[in-house]
Amino acid sequence: MIHLSLTQVQSHEVFRSMLDSLSRPGTISHLTALESVDVPRCIIPILAIVDVETRFAVVDNTQSTQAISSSHNWSALIGSATGAPPASLAESSWVVALSEPTRDNMEDLPRGSALAPERGCGLVVGCASLSEGFDQGDATQESTSIALTGPGVDGQKIVTISGISNYFFESLCDLNGSFPAGVDVWMVDQSGQILALSRSTQISILAQQHGGQ
């Protein structure tokens, strides 16, 4: 049986980790509540932050038929555990992507406006691994190295995200091109490491390694 519930203390700790990572874009830290919750690590932030007044959506682009079933199942489970209502991408305050979002997915996300930036959604994206600096990682996994600058970043920070292509970051840069409107992103890897990319963070794609070599 899948256990989805977080205690109030666990939810507070996860939320605090999210806020801390957002204030220091590109800094890799660890989520708590990993042992007690049997779910993909990227779902833990959603469990901590949504409630009966928070609309959310689940994206899974791994395999067409199975992914549709998977995303629907996770939507139902998260909704049951938190009371939060599932919604379309365009109507969601929070979105969790179990695999890399497509450009169409990204274009559907609410980004708010200059007068109402708070209407931009939060996006949590699952990935294979996160590491600081340039890292070749697992040769079977596609990975992208990016350089980050902007508020909260001490000079420049370089990180490598395995399991995510450069196309995602290109779409994110387009989405966040009209600050303060935009989308705040949290990347969560399979071991529970987390890093945030604030909508104010400038992203430069440095290198991409293709998996399967």
Both tokens assigned to 47: 């469990």
In a domain? residue 2: no
Let me know if residue 198 belongs to a domain.
Answer: yes
- The amino acid at residue 75 is S
Question: How high is the mean pLDDT in each 10-residue block of the chain (213 residues)?
Answer: 75 94 96 75 94 96 58 85 95 97 97 95 97 74 93 95 95 95 97 96 88 59
Which residues form the domain of 147? 8-209
Residue 205 lies in a domain: yes
Q: Is residue 3 part of a domain?
A: no
104 inside domain: yes
Residue 42 domain flag: yes
CA dihedral 26, 31, 34, 39 (to 10 degrees): -50
Q: What is the CATH number of the domain that holds 96?
A: 3.40.50.11310
C-alpha–C-alpha distance, residues 103 and 120, integer Å: 17
Return the SS3 of 108. helix
Residue 194 in any domain: the answer is yes
Residue 65: predicted pLDDT: 44
Q: Can you give the pLDDT at residue 71?
A: 60
Domain total of the chain: 1
3-state secondary structure of 207: strand
Distance, CA of 187 to CA of 195 (rounded, Å): 5
How many Cβ atoms from other residues are within 10 Å of residue 67's Cβ?
16
